[in-house]
Amino acid sequence: MNLTNRARRVERVKALHERALLAIDGVQGVGVGEHEGRPAITVFVVNRQLVGAKIPHELDRIPVYVEESGGAFQAL
Protein backbone atom coordinates (compact mmCIF):
# COMPACT_ATOMS: atom_id res chain seq x y z
CA MET A 1 0.00 0.00 0.00
CA ASN A 2 1.52 3.31 -0.99
CA LEU A 3 1.67 6.29 1.35
CA THR A 4 -1.31 8.09 -0.24
CA ASN A 5 -3.58 5.05 0.06
CA ARG A 6 -2.44 4.47 3.63
CA ALA A 7 -3.18 8.12 4.52
CA ARG A 8 -6.69 7.76 3.06
CA ARG A 9 -7.22 4.58 5.08
CA VAL A 10 -6.10 6.36 8.25
CA GLU A 11 -8.61 9.16 7.55
CA ARG A 12 -11.42 6.60 7.12
CA VAL A 13 -10.50 4.79 10.33
CA LYS A 14 -10.34 8.08 12.22
CA ALA A 15 -13.78 9.05 10.91
CA LEU A 16 -15.20 5.70 12.05
CA HIS A 17 -13.88 6.02 15.61
CA GLU A 18 -13.74 9.78 16.20
CA ARG A 19 -17.12 10.11 17.92
CA ALA A 20 -16.30 7.32 20.42
CA LEU A 21 -12.87 8.78 21.15
CA LEU A 22 -14.30 12.27 21.71
CA ALA A 23 -16.84 10.79 24.14
CA ILE A 24 -14.01 9.79 26.49
CA ASP A 25 -13.77 12.33 29.29
CA GLY A 26 -10.55 14.33 28.90
CA VAL A 27 -10.19 13.86 25.13
CA GLN A 28 -10.03 17.23 23.40
CA GLY A 29 -9.47 16.30 19.79
CA VAL A 30 -8.62 13.62 17.26
CA GLY A 31 -6.41 14.12 14.25
CA VAL A 32 -4.32 12.42 11.60
CA GLY A 33 -0.60 12.88 11.53
CA GLU A 34 2.62 10.93 11.34
CA HIS A 35 4.58 8.97 13.87
CA GLU A 36 7.99 7.62 12.93
CA GLY A 37 7.29 8.49 9.30
CA ARG A 38 4.02 6.55 9.10
CA PRO A 39 0.46 7.90 9.01
CA ALA A 40 -1.22 7.54 12.40
CA ILE A 41 -4.16 8.75 14.47
CA THR A 42 -3.35 11.26 17.21
CA VAL A 43 -5.64 11.74 20.19
CA PHE A 44 -5.19 15.01 22.08
CA VAL A 45 -5.92 14.81 25.82
CA VAL A 46 -5.87 17.17 28.78
CA ASN A 47 -3.83 14.80 30.95
CA ARG A 48 -2.14 11.68 29.58
CA GLN A 49 -1.96 9.97 32.98
CA LEU A 50 -5.70 10.30 33.56
CA VAL A 51 -6.91 9.47 30.06
CA GLY A 52 -4.12 7.55 28.32
CA ALA A 53 -5.18 4.10 29.57
CA LYS A 54 -8.64 4.60 28.04
CA ILE A 55 -7.23 5.15 24.54
CA PRO A 56 -6.46 2.05 22.43
CA HIS A 57 -2.94 1.63 21.05
CA GLU A 58 -4.38 0.96 17.62
CA LEU A 59 -7.68 1.07 15.75
CA ASP A 60 -8.25 -1.27 12.84
CA ARG A 61 -4.47 -1.89 12.71
CA ILE A 62 -3.72 1.86 12.55
CA PRO A 63 -1.39 3.11 15.31
CA VAL A 64 -2.90 5.58 17.80
CA TYR A 65 -0.74 8.03 19.73
CA VAL A 66 -1.79 10.13 22.69
CA GLU A 67 -0.60 13.73 22.80
CA GLU A 68 -1.05 15.82 25.93
CA SER A 69 -2.37 19.23 24.97
CA GLY A 70 -1.94 20.68 28.44
CA GLY A 71 -5.05 22.81 28.59
CA ALA A 72 -7.34 24.75 26.28
CA PHE A 73 -7.58 23.28 22.83
CA GLN A 74 -8.95 25.05 19.79
CA ALA A 75 -9.21 23.57 16.32
CA LEU A 76 -8.18 25.89 13.51
The pLDDT tens digits along the chain (76 residues) read: 666 788 899 999 999 999 999 999 999 999 998 888 888 999 999 999 988 789 999 999 999 999 998 766 666 6
> Where residue 62 sits, what CATH number does that domain have?
3.30.300
Is 10 domain-assigned?
yes
Provide the sign of the torsion angle of the four alpha carbons 22, 48, 45, 31, taken in this order: negative
The predicted model scores a pTM of 0.86
Please calculate the CA angle 3-74-65 and round it to the nearest 5 degrees.
Answer: 40
* 55: DSSP letter: S
Rg (CA), the chain: 12
Full residue range of the structural domain in which residue 37 is found: 3-68
Closest CA to 28 of 55, 60, 56, 59: 55
